[in-house]
A and B are shown apart, each in its own frame.
Chain A
């Protein structure tokens, strides 16, 4: 959870985390391993890896499109108010 907090800057509660895990397990995207010190480690299944790749690729497409359009907007803004209005 600390890892998620560090890289995503989001604090997840136990109800949310395990609710998500249950849904992912139900869809066969993750699987639980043998418990270590009362906690189950989880790993992605093959289907989970595929699904994650698709999601990341979709995110990448959205972010790159967004970045391109943002760059164009910045360009217009740098040309002055007339450029921005156009």
Chain B
């Protein structure tokens, strides 16, 4: 947008949702159609017509353009921007998934072939126990991938700092990482406050804390920091957006987005398998549960870990993994296209 264009803007102020929908389009689109779309909305506002449907239509159009960029100029910059945005779409949902995973009470689950559990678990129960183990590994893998992601962003620190974000990049990039560290400390603190586990008649277990108030404070703080961390990830996206990245700077991000999509798929599959498996496990007698050998403790944990929320969590993970996989595919294709165009240009 040029300075004269800005001056020509009418006095109509569009609502925040409308401005967000306009910004959701890729840069090349905004340069080409942004003014037209804005004046379209302004005309509706001047006529006092409801903007809700138009804004929704605009948002759907933005998703459509992101998926199929009709009319996108065949330039290195346009493909590079598309690759960068796709990397963000493939990896940022991983943090949302992490939040979903955090709703699950994480335990260390042994193999379903443990002597203690093998005799009491049906096939469904063993599938559920193994699925939960896979889920726990997928959660760890996601954390590792996120750390790799920050390492990649950190490697681009110089490039990002020279961009429009300037010195703000440091706070933008380190904020989510700091939140992650605080989260880990709070989790350890909360685990340290556990006095013992009570297994009820239904096989559901409950944690009893030595200092309930402190545990509650730690839980609330964990939730607050988790939300702050999730919001601050957008700072990383903004920092990368304002940087003048080269095509080859995105190679690590493309690999990261693909790995993230695979891990999310594993997590979603494990979550669904857990839910289906656990429903096929007949109730275990209370006496057997309380007598808990090493193999039964995991099962008590499996029963209590997700509970009634599993369909919601599984659906959320499935949606996020599909978005991540699609974005990772677009990122790979866009990166390849940008690289080929750059090679032709040089």
- A interface residues (Cβ-Cβ under 8 A, vs B): 1, 11-19, 21-23, 25-26, 35, 37-40
Minimum Cβ distance to chain A for residue B58 (Å)? 4
B62 interfacial contact with A, CB 8 Å: yes
Q: Do residues A17 and B70 form an inter-chain contact, with CB atoms below 8 A?
A: no
Complex: A14 Cα to B18 Cα, angstroms: 11
Minimum Cβ distance to chain B for residue A58 (Å)? 23
Q: Do residues A39 and B39 form an inter-chain contact, with CB atoms below 8 A?
A: yes
Q: Which residue of the partner chain A has the closest CB to B60?
A: A15
Q: Which residue of the partner chain A has the closest CB to B56?
A: A13
Q: Contact partner of A39 among B36, B54, B57, CB < 8 A?
A: B36
Q: Do residues B71 and A13 form an inter-chain contact, with CB atoms below 8 A?
A: no
- B interface residues (Cβ-Cβ under 8 A, vs A): 5, 8-9, 21, 29, 32-33, 35-41, 53-54, 56-62, 64-65, 70-71
Q: Do residues A14 and B41 form an inter-chain contact, with CB atoms below 8 A?
A: yes
Q: Do residues A19 and B39 form an inter-chain contact, with CB atoms below 8 A?
A: no
Q: Which residue of the partner chain A has the closest CB to B54?
A: A13
Q: Which residue of the partner chain A has the closest CB to B58?
A: A15
Query: What are the residues of chain A within 8 A of B33 when measuring CB–CB?
Result: 18, 21-22
Q: Contact partner of A19 among B9, B40, B61, CB < 8 A?
A: B61
Complex: A13 Cα to B65 Cα, angstroms: 15
Minimum Cβ distance to chain B for residue A38 (Å)? 5
Complex: A13 Cα to B57 Cα, angstroms: 6
Answer whether A22 and B70 are a contact pair too, CB < 8 Å, given A13-B58, A13-B61.
yes
Q: Do residues A15 and B64 form an inter-chain contact, with CB atoms below 8 A?
A: yes
Q: Do residues A14 and B57 form an inter-chain contact, with CB atoms below 8 A?
A: yes
Answer whether A37 and B40 are a contact pair too, CB < 8 Å, given A13-B58, A22-B70.
no
Query: What are the residues of chain A within 8 A of B62 when measuring CB–CB?
Result: 15
A-B contact pairs, 27 of them (CB 8 A): A11-B53, A13-B53, A13-B58, A13-B61, A14-B37, A14-B40, A14-B54, A15-B21, A15-B37, A15-B57, A15-B58, A15-B60, A18-B37, A19-B61, A21-B33, A22-B33, A22-B70, A23-B70, A23-B71, A35-B35, A38-B5, A38-B9, A38-B35, A38-B38, A38-B39, A39-B39, A40-B36
Complex: A1 Cα to B37 Cα, angstroms: 12
Query: What are the residues of chain B within 8 A of A17 when measuring CB–CB?
Result: 40
Q: Do residues A38 and B8 form an inter-chain contact, with CB atoms below 8 A?
A: yes
